[in-house]
């Protein structure tokens, strides 16, 4: 297990082994995804979008028409 210490400026250095596993380097972005009240998952934003499959569970199936309607309603164009 790798670990890091938070600096006085609230920064951390990602250990080399973690950077290597995530295939990230200078300038790459990472996302912090909350998986529980006290847990986060670190995901390299440079990875293929297909690797995110299954990360979010759908509560119900929504049609394109329902999505369009919801977008119009939020935009004030209902």
**Confidence band for 78, pLDDT divided at 50, 70 and 90:** low
Write b or e for each residue in 49-73: b if 16 or more Cβ atoms lie within 10 A of its Cβ, otherwise e. Answer: eeeeeeeeeeeeeeeeeeeeeeeee
Residues 6+ apart with CB under 8 A from 12: 4, 5, 6
Please give the pLDDT value at position 76. 82
More confident residue, 11 or 50: 11
Summarised one tens digit per residue, pLDDT across range 25-73 is 998 899 999 999 999 998 888 767 777 777 788 888 899 999 999 999 9
Alpha helices in 1-78 (DSSP H): 16-22, 64-74
Residues 6+ apart with CB under 8 A from 29: 44, 45, 46
């Amino acid at each position: 297990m790798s670990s890091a210490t938070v600096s006085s400026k609230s920064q951390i250095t990602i250990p080399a082994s973690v950077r290597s596993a995530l295939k990230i380097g200078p300038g790459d972005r990472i996302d912090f995804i909350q998986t529980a009240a006290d847990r986060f998952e670190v995901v390299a934003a440079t990875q293929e979008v297909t690797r995110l499959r299954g990360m979010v569970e759908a509560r119900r199936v929504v049609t394109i028409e329902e999505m369009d309607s919801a977008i119009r309603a939020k935009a004030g164009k209902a």
